[in-house]
């Protein structure tokens, strides 16, 4: 097969669409574990949004490459705009965190540059796909997809870890009142010692 045509890249992009869709669903499951905590914590909101944005971006890249030609230009422009828009949003977020000294454990300049690079490559590849069907465009979009999948997986992993740590701390603290988190009456169990009769 000629690597300068979309059919040569078809299997890869079908796999990327499947991976993006599956990981988007799993991220929504992770968000559903404790949506109130994610809503209250800016860091968790950023991680959840980063993961979902990355995975949906990968799906859009795959759809743009596999779409029939008359409609591919519109999808390619959407990928280009989304990629460059994502790069700008990630850059602004990174600058805000550095300027205002917001806590962001695990964030490094290398990771932030990697995230932004994935979206920049997606934007450049998307706009290039409008009128150029060459192997380097498909390879650029594939590389952007791999970066975005890696970034999204890492953000989801940190999200689940932090939700799990908070849930463990909450359960170790014990009951605060006879009513649980759901508002239902919970029995309060008092330990029985041998000396009381």
DSSP 165-183: HHHHHHHHT--SSSB-TTS
| Residue 181 included in any domain | no
Contact (Cβ atoms closer than 8 angstroms) between residue 141 and residue 65: yes
Tokens representing residue 172 in the block: 């170790």
Nearest to 59 by CA among 14, 3, 90: 14
| Residue 67 included in any domain | yes
| Residue 179 included in any domain | no
Quick one: pLDDT at residue 93?
74
Quick one: pLDDT at residue 25?
93
| Residue 183 included in any domain | no
In the chain, the largest separation of any two C-alpha atoms, in whole Å, equals: 87
Nearest to 105 by CA among 42, 153, 61, 56: 42
Bridge partners of 179? 185
Kindly calculate the radius of gyration of the chain based on its CA atoms and give it in whole angstroms: 22
C-alpha 89 chain-centroid distance: 14
Helix, strand, coil percentages, rounded to 5, for the chain: 75, 0, 25
Q: Which helix (H) or strand (E) holds 159?
A: helix 135-172
| Residue 38 included in any domain | yes
Quick one: pLDDT at residue 171?
59
Quick one: pLDDT at residue 181?
53
Q: For the chain, what is the domain count?
A: 1
Distance from C-alpha of 53 to C-alpha of 57, rounded to nearest angstrom: 6
Quick one: pLDDT at residue 91?
80
Domain that holds residue 13: 6-172
Distance from C-alpha of 76 to C-alpha of 83, rounded to nearest angstrom: 10
| Residue 188 included in any domain | no
| Residue 116 included in any domain | yes
| Residue 81 included in any domain | yes
Quick one: pLDDT at residue 99?
43
C-alpha 31 chain-centroid distance: 11
Kindly give the parts of the chain with pLDDT less than 50: 99, 105
């Amino acid at each position: 097969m000629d690597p300068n045509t979309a059919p040569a890249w078809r299997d890869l992009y079908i796999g990327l669409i499947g991976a993006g869709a599956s990981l988007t669903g799993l991220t929504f499951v992770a968000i559903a574990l404790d949506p109130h905590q994610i809503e209250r914590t800016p860091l968790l909101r950023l991680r959840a949004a980063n993961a979902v944005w990355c995975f949906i971006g990968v799906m859009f890249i795959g759809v743009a490459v596999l779409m029939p030609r008359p409609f591919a230009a519109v999808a390619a422009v959407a990928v280009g705009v989304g990629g460059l828009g994502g790069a700008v949003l990630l850059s602004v977020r990174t600058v805000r965190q550095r300027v205002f000294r917001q806590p962001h454990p695990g964030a490094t300049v290398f990771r932030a540059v990697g995230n932004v690079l994935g979206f920049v490559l997606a934007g450049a590849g998307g706009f290039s796909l409008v009128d150029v069907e060459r192997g380097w465009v498909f390879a650029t979009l594939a590389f952007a997809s791999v970066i975005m999948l890696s970034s999204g997986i890492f953000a989801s992993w940190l999200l689940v870890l932090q939700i799990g740590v908070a849930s463990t701390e909450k359960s170790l603290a014990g009951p605060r009142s006879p009513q649980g988190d759901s508002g239902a009456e919970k029995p309060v169990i008092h330990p029985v010692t041998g000396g009381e009769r």
